[in-house]
Structure 1
Amino acid sequence: MRYRELGLSGLSVSEIGYGAWGIGESSWVGATEDDSVRALHRAVELGVNFIDTARGYGESERIVGRVVRERVGEEVLVATKVPPKNGMWPAPEGLDPAVTFPGEHIRESLETSLRVSGLDHFDVLQFHVWSDDWVGRGDWLETIAELKQSGKIRSFGVSVNDHRPETALALVRSGAVDSVQVIYNIFDQAPAEELLPACAEHGVGVIVRVALDEGGLTGRIDAGTTFPEGDWRNRYFRDDRPAQVGQRVAAIVADLGITRDELAEHALRFVLSSPAVSTVIPGMRTVRNVERNTALSDGRPLTADQLAVLAGHRWQRNFYS
């Protein structure tokens, strides 16, 4: 496993991290706690030292905390997220931060996360939504400083609104944040325009989520693909979206001269090709997923020709809406 610095936070993170949204009994149908625990343990054995969870991810914090506490003598870094007090995703423009992240709410959410996980601190505390309207307003920054001083958190980050990397530029340039979590993949390459360069300039770590487009960049989504009842991907890939994805994927694999089975590997290597990226956090619910993804931390970047090909496969859309 190779490691990168999380900006100027002082934390060194595995370049393949662990996205823990889908573990346990979650909105990703098919996950079980036993499978998740085995996968988490295997990830740590293979060098993964960064796990991303959230207060809003069902049983995820509890399961992550259980595994971390079982890894006696090993440093496993855990990031979690504070949900907005008003419960609105994404954050609408024009809201006062007192409505979304007042200090009291931040502290209460953190205390709940600590209690549920059984941990005594989190290495990264993130706001689960963000708006640059909040820079310089409210008491959130003072609260974060107090939590750092108390030792309950080591660094502060935000999860940038889906497909809107420009909404965190002012925060990055303010010096008030240690890391940002952002969607970045072959389809959504917008962060490379302004956000990633700004993070590199200001020493802000970058955590990449949705590198595989919720499964769209695994090569397994095509016309006719369906998911079990109750699985949230039925909404993400609704109507003719699977067919659209299948056509885009066919074009990518043809242009790269690879098979569909090799697409996920190339998608993750695409993300890691950016030196501004600290870690990518694919969801890994099975030992097989873990072993496949961690094997990519081998220092073999995509070639300049491959990156040039992938630059032509941007696809601006928002399947979350």
Structure 2
Amino acid sequence: MEYRQLGESDLKVSAITFGAWAIGGWMWGGTEANDAVRAIHASIDEGVTSIDTAPIYGQGLSEELTGEALKGLDRTKVQILTKFGMRWNLAKGSLAFNSKDNAGNPIDIYKYAGKESVIEECENSLKRLGTDYIDLLQIHWPDVTTPIDETFEAVLRLKEQGKIREAGVCNYNVAQMKEAGAVLKLASNQVPFSMVERTIENELVPYCIENKKAILAYSPLQRGLLSGKIKPGHQFGEGDTRAGSKFYQADNLNRINAFLDQIKPMAESKSVTLAQLVIRWTIERPGITVALVGARNAEQAIQNARAINVKLGAEEIKFINDRLYQLQLV
């Protein structure tokens, strides 16, 4: 495994980090607790030291399963990354969307990051995770109803109290990062990035490179799409939101699969999977520090972690990029 520093912080994480959204089950069509714990253990056995979770993933379930998996392990050798700012149990802030929990009950999700809520969420996360500190605490989404300085003054208090080591943001633009960074030094920004979703390269990546901020890329496989295993007509389970994504519409699916067919021989020549090739490409991309990759069982977790062993030369990267730039989605 390779380990990378988050910005100018003291925090080092594994370049391939375990993304724990899927194990929470919510929006992924359910979960199996034993499989989830085994997936985390398998990742750690492969050298993955970092786990990215959030309270909203399964309304606490992902954090609880992460805490369960880490029982008895050396806490200093694992980095826990979690979040705050999406409430399903408090009707404050702005309504993000309506959803259903894992039991099928309707819930309303609010983006809220008021001072008292940030502190309450951190305390609840610490309990669910079974730890006394969080390595990286991140705001999950911008909250337009709360001043950014109020939110990050609360985060600063948590850091001063030793409850968190470093602070980060998710889904922030450059202006929002600058405003938060005026209150305390940010380590990172977690944003969507994949071969087919490269919007951040326009403004955010150059800013983060220049200002030494880490970028944690989530959905590098575009929620499984870039594994090459999803074909037109694929049936998703109930509650799985991928069915409504533009990337999974038939025209785009056909175009993306045609692109994957072009780079598949490269993966085969290296005796690796398409997904492993894609993950390696992602962490080779300028400005990208970490690829967050989810797994619902041990085998998936092992395959994800072993993407670190893929070697890509400059000509191979150019071959991929040339074909990627020809890919037009609708």
Aligned residue in 1 for 2:249 = 241
Corresponding residue to 1:273 among 280, 284, 290: 284
Tell me whether 1:123 sits opposite 2:135 in the alignment.
Answer: yes
Aligned residue in 1 for 2:5 = 5
Q: Which has the higher strand share?
A: 2
Please list, as runs of the form range in 1=range in 2, the aligned pairs for 1:93-172 lying within 5 A after superposition.
100-130=112-142, 137-160=148-171, 168=176, 170-171=178-179
Task: For structure 1, list consecutive stretches of 5 or more residues without a partner in the other structure.
Answer: 91-98
Q: Is this contact kept in 1: 2:174–2:207, CA < 8 A?
A: no
Q: Are the structure 2 counterparts of residues 302 and 288 from structure 1 closer, same or farther at C-alpha, using a change threshold of 3 Å? A: farther
Aligned residue in 1 for 2:34 = 34
Q: Are the structure 2 counterparts of residues 72 and 107 from structure 1 closer, same or farther at C-alpha, using a change threshold of 3 Å? A: same
Q: Are the structure 2 counterparts of residues 242 and 81 from structure 1 closer, same or farther at C-alpha, using a change threshold of 3 Å? A: farther
Q: Which moved more, 1:305-314 or 1:109-118?
A: 305-314
Aligned residue in 2 for 1:93 = none
RMSD (Å), alpha carbons:
2.9
Aligned residue in 1 for 2:43 = 43
Question: How far is 1:70 from its partner?
Answer: 2.7
- Take 1:108 and 1:133, find their aligned partners in 2: how far apart are those partners? 18
Question: How far is 1:100 from its partner?
Answer: 3.0
Tell me whether 1:250 sits opposite 2:252 in the alignment.
Answer: no
Question: How far is 1:266 from its partner?
Answer: 2.5
Paired residues in the alignment total: 304
- Take 2:180 and 2:153, find their aligned partners in 1: how far apart are those partners? 17
- Take 2:68 and 2:50, find their aligned partners in 1: how far apart are those partners? 15
Corresponding residue to 1:220 among 221, 229, 232: 229
- Take 1:302 and 1:183, find their aligned partners in 2: how far apart are those partners? 25
Corresponding residue to 2:71 among 69, 72, 78: 69
Task: For structure 2, list consecutive stretches of 5 or more residues without a partner in the other structure.
Answer: 87-91, 98-110
- Take 2:211 and 2:144, find their aligned partners in 1: how far apart are those partners? 16
Q: Percent of pairs identical after alignment?
A: 28
- Take 1:126 and 1:299, find their aligned partners in 2: how far apart are those partners? 30
Aligned residue in 1 for 2:107 = none
Aligned residue in 2 for 1:79 = 81
- Take 2:327 and 2:243, find their aligned partners in 1: how far apart are those partners? 23
Question: How far is 1:104 from its partner?
Answer: 0.7
Q: Are the structure 2 counterparts of residues 227 and 259 from structure 1 closer, same or farther at C-alpha, using a change threshold of 3 Å? A: farther
Aligned residue in 2 for 1:182 = 191
- Take 1:73 and 1:109, find their aligned partners in 2: how far apart are those partners? 21
Q: Which moved more, 1:15-24 or 1:240-249?
A: 240-249
- Matching residue's letter, 2:319: Q
